[in-house]
Structure 1
Amino acid sequence: MRAQVIDGKAITARMRAEVAEEAARLTAEGWQPKLVSISVGDTAAAELYVRNQQRQAESAGVLFEARNYPAETSLEQLTGILQGLNADPRVNGVIIQRPLPDHIPVKVLQKTVHPLKDVEGMHPASIGNIVYNDLALGPCTVVAAVEILKTLPLKLEGLDVTVIGHSEIVGKPIAFLLMGLGATVTVCHHMTRSVAMHSRASDAVFVAVGKPGLVTGEMLKPGAALIDIGINRVETSEGPRTVGDADFESCGEVAGWITPVPGGVGPVTVATLMKNAVLAARMQMEHYRDAYARTEH
């Protein structure tokens, strides 16, 4: 029996409907959520993402402004631009598109975005909050991947999960988030002696490494859930294709559920970004109201 293919687009549609309702409520209160996207230099690589984000934002009632800056823009100039956006109450979220020119370290920019406007969940404070099980503005890919697992008929408490990949922005936060939900988590990486030994013992496997075909069917327990976060471009006889980190054919023969690439974690990640946008707008509205509330004497 083949694995059930998880429809990321259906999950996205449900999330988008909820986001649109909240955006409409905020707009009625005079706080229509607004995102600003920052691209620097050659934007061809990020263009598809930006267009997709813009389309999703507009369908959810979120304003979206795409800003492109020349490649020679300095780190100091960009820092100043971000500080200006931090101080602008009309802007609720900032997205930093990658790749960036070599002279612009992405981590410095991510640290500059105010945590209340960090809709990507990439500020060190946002990543660190996961340790305390605070997901107010969690990293979008991480929250999306775990959200997909939650839609399956599996009880998270006590679930044995293997996470393949231990990056600071995906693997490690997923592990902390799953532990917070009661799962028992094993994290594998390039120094792990036998990844297959761990993955074959697990009820769910997450993979985020950036190596096409890394996970094969023989590495999975029959009936396990496989959440593939990898995005790779490969050349085939029919031309270039986008694939994940799992060999979809062999894994599909063994897994109980599997996410396709594209169409799995990707769409849910963008929906999570929009969810963060309306949440950030709500948090900022309350922050301003508390800060400037009139007190009666």
Structure 2
Amino acid sequence: MPYLTEPEPVRGLATEVAPGIRRIVAGNPGLMTYHGTNTYLIETGQGTVVLDPGPDDEAHVAAILAATGGSVGAILLSHSHSDHLGALAALQAQTGARTFAFHRSADSAFRPDVPLQDGDSVAGLLAIHTPGHASDHLCFARPDGIVFSADHVMSWSSSIVSPPGGDMAAYFQSLRRMLARDDRLLLPGHGPPLPDPAPYIQELLDHRIKREEAIAETLRTGPFAAMDLVKELYSQTNPWLIRAAERNVVAHLQKLEQEGRASRHADGWVSSLSSSDASSR
């Protein structure tokens, strides 16, 4: 995959990434977060909107308050994972802004002030339900072709799909939904902006399809545990990312099971297709 990179950003600084949009990168770098979570400050007719407050970090909240002068029109949440949600309570306490997020939160402890449905609009942004990475994941689209893609499509890496909250079948559908759009720029939850996103999204989808077919083919010689499949198919994976690879494999296995192409047994996963079925695919 042709992933993008960028220099480590200056912490606590709001920098313009597109007209009317600034970004502050949180101080939570890591193997799963790249340089950190992107918090976006979006100028709208309803004031400055904060998208994804970021992790629970006093310094990051202080940077958001400094960049907005403490005046926030609304707080939007792409999904309820802690690296996006953690700072929300502190930011809301300081600003009094209402929170907007998908109406079925994946975090039982969080309920938005304004629950959003797929297709709703807030501050001129269209909410697009894109489950896969998380069941409550939303992308937000501006009318000018800029989309805040959060963790659904990231420029620096593919997304982890970890059941039960992650769903590979839903992820495939959500990627295809984004492909059907005519967007010009994606602003992800981690990593740099992604221009001309359609070819990249197609490669993400093709990569996942290829990986799934490799899993399905390997299962014909099963049974295999999910970690056995990781060792068989992910030989070049960073050892620190093996756990993430296993979660992706489990998500693929569950999708194959839903489609009648794999089944679980006490000693592992096996193919549900006969040799003739497999050869006809």
TM-score with structure 2 length normalisation? Answer: 0.31
Bigger helix fraction? 1
Bigger strand fraction? 2
